[in-house]
Structure 1
Amino acid sequence: MSFSDNTRGLVLAVLSSGFIGASFILKKIGLKRAAASGTRAGVGGYTYLQEPLWWAGMITMIVGEIANFVAYVFAPAVLVTPLGALSIIVSAVLAHLLLKERLQKMDVVGCVSCIVGSVVIVIHAPQEPTPSSVQEVWTLATEPAFLFYAATALSIVLALMLHFEPRYGQTNILVYLGICSLMGSLTVVSIKAIGIAVKLTFEGISQLAYPQTWFFVTIAILFVITQLNYLNKVDNLDADALHFVAFVDVCRILSHFIMQCKCEKPTET
């Protein structure tokens, strides 16, 4: 039985959500254990690096991100991105079972809304052309509209990092979530370009000689490492893991759709 590229992408996206949702819980348990015997990650501590459960969560997240990366190779972002909300369901169940966090009625309503919303978006996703080469992604990413969005997003991220994080990071979750979600909206462009480059290279059309490929690789590495650093601080705050994951995923999805609207062009007639 053969499957279409979209089907492969959707399956990988669902698997990715499962791994990523579980990784938040494992990392939070590891961070809590590390904080009990050392300096909290939220105030600059790194004792969590000695905690096996934190590493288990990190490996699980890496596996999930790899699956997510491959999903972007096969399916358009407008199909893959909404399925990231399913990680909230996984986190909700595991947070209830492992962290003994009580699910409120509104939490259940939110989880059901995530499922319904993801299904509706996937079924009714617009049939628009997606980039088929690294050069095409570069052309779209250097258009004035997207450059304005990228400059605005980076300016807000720098303001959050340099001004708000030292003052309000430990008391306001939106500081860390703003950093991660805005950087995530730009990371998805690089991930899509890298996925296309890998796919074309394996098909015999090498993309390694193009400087745009390495630019996207550099951006992806820097942004992913930065997001992981701030997500560790988010996980270590004293609040429900479920709400962390929900805010992170919702912000990422909204940001990704803003990016998608900026990048995609309507089909010319």
Structure 2
Amino acid sequence: MKGMSMDNIRGLILAVSSSVFIGSSFIIKKQGLKKAGSSGPRAGQGGHSYLYEPWWWAGMITMIIGEIANFAAYAYAPAILVTPLGALSIIFSAVLAHFILKERLHIFGMLGCALCVVGSTTIVLHAPKERHIESVKQVSHLATEPGFLVYFWVVLAVVAVLIFRYVPRYGQTHLVVYIGICSLMGSLTVMGVKAVGIALKLSFGGMNQFKYFETWIFTIIVIFCCLLQINYLNKALDTFNTAVVCPVYYVMFTTFTIIASIIMFKDWNSQGGTEITTELCGFITILAGTFLLHKTKDMGKSSSGRLPVYTSPEPNTVSESR
């Protein structure tokens, strides 16, 4: 194990704090969506009555605080270190959902939480050091290399197909449709957030980066992607069980973000095969934990013993199992 740099330690502290706030926000927002759904059209059916619900706004504020901490973490540490720590928000939200929303967390769910912690620890101990960047123009150069440009346009094309073709048909019954949109756009959001975070860090250090148009382009990309994510995450939370939304979102978001980071920032170029393999094992351990959390969410509720994979109850049925 190599020693962690001070920047990585700062990023670690910020990422853990972020997970606590974000994990709590899922539960608070869910409460707001449930209250709004009892007096108007549900968000999953296109309603926006949750905008008048104080609980939903409390959840949004909590999430914003968490995202600010996460934003700062990306300025100090590589995405391969920061993003997998989102597993801690899964644990926190699953435990809160167990006690507050009565979405039971069984023994295998607890084992899943433990696996998430082990996997996260493994990645933290073997994560690459942050790449030294002296200007936002350097980030812009990385973002316009052929490899990342291909990734960028493929993501936009897939998201467009999901929104215009699959959301109307399968959005209410297949979680991966909503979460796929959030996760793909989220990977672009993180790359933009990292660029803006680096610009802020350098600007506070005396090198103004906001005189470059590239900084503002990255800022616009972040705002657009965030708004799209919030919209479809609300639909997912209102339609499906919170204990399922959080881990599935985490798995897909983390996977796409790590892929985007490897392509754009070339995080693995400075590491050997052993370190990369260890990080992959840590990530697979986290995936196993989230899989357990998902597969056991309905344990004890169904007499048939069958557990749904990525689907919600029938579209016209509203029940506590959601």
For the aligned pair, the TM-score class normalised by the smaller chain equals over 0.9
Shift in Å, 1:250: 1.1
Amino acid at match of 1:103: L
Residues 25, 94 of structure 1: 8 Å contact kept: yes
TM-score, length-scaled by structure 2? 0.79
Distance in 2 (CA, whole Å) between partners of 1:53 and 1:132 is 42
TM-score, length-scaled by structure 1? 0.94
Which residue in 2 is equivalent to 1:198? Answer: 200
Which residue in 1 is equivalent to 2:161? Answer: 159
Distance in 2 (CA, whole Å) between partners of 1:16 and 1:94 is 16
Counterpart check, 1:77 vs 2:86:
no
Distance in 1 (CA, whole Å) between partners of 2:189 and 2:214 is 14
Residues 81, 128 of structure 2: 8 Å contact kept: no
Residues 7, 130 of structure 2: 8 Å contact kept: no
Amino acid at match of 2:141: T
Structure 2 counterparts to residues 238-253 of structure 1, below 5 A: 239-253=240-254
Q: 1:53 to 1:158 in 2, by over 3 A?
A: same
137-146 or 173-182, larger mean C-alpha shift = 137-146
Distance in 1 (CA, whole Å) between partners of 2:133 and 2:249 is 26
Shift in Å, 1:132: 4.0
122-131 or 257-266, larger mean C-alpha shift = 122-131
Amino acid at match of 1:223: C
Distance in 2 (CA, whole Å) between partners of 1:13 and 1:203 is 22
Counterpart check, 1:20 vs 2:25:
no
Distance in 1 (CA, whole Å) between partners of 2:188 and 2:130 is 20
Distance in 2 (CA, whole Å) between partners of 1:128 and 1:49 is 39
Shift in Å, 1:49: 1.1
Residue-by-residue CA offset, 1:103-138 (whole Å, 9 max, x unaligned): 133322221121111100110113463544211111
* DSSP 3-state at the match of 2:57: helix
Residue-by-residue CA offset, 1:221-261 (whole Å, 9 max, x unaligned): 00001100111101101x32111100111111111110111
Distance in 1 (CA, whole Å) between partners of 2:198 and 2:58 is 29
Residues 130, 264 of structure 1: 8 Å contact kept: no
* DSSP 3-state at the match of 2:73: helix
Amino acid at match of 2:213: P
Which residue in 1 is equivalent to 2:175? Answer: 173
Distance in 2 (CA, whole Å) between partners of 1:165 and 1:33 is 24
Amino acid at match of 1:151: W
Which residue in 2 is equivalent to 1:107? Answer: 109
Number of residue equivalences: 265
Distance in 2 (CA, whole Å) between partners of 1:77 and 1:263 is 11
Residues 76, 130 of structure 1: 8 Å contact kept: no
Which residue in 2 is equivalent to 1:88? Answer: 90
* DSSP 3-state at the match of 2:15: helix
After the TM superposition, which segments of 4 or more aligned residues of structure 1 sit over 3 Å from their partners? Answer: none
Distance in 2 (CA, whole Å) between partners of 1:257 and 1:202 is 27
Residue-by-residue CA offset, 1:18-44 (whole Å, 9 max, x unaligned): 100110111011101110110011121
Distance in 1 (CA, whole Å) between partners of 2:160 and 2:133 is 29
Residues 21, 90 of structure 1: 8 Å contact kept: yes
Q: 1:94 to 1:227 in 2, by over 3 A?
A: same
C-alpha RMSD of the superposition: 1.6
Counterpart check, 1:227 vs 2:229:
yes
Which residue in 1 is equivalent to 2:63? Answer: 61
70-79 or 243-252, larger mean C-alpha shift = 70-79
Amino acid at match of 2:96: L
Distance in 1 (CA, whole Å) between partners of 2:203 and 2:131 is 21
Counterpart check, 1:184 vs 2:186:
yes
Q: 1:251 to 1:258 in 2, by over 3 A?
A: same
Structure 2 counterparts to residues 29-48 of structure 1, below 5 A: 29-48=31-50
Amino acid at match of 2:245: F
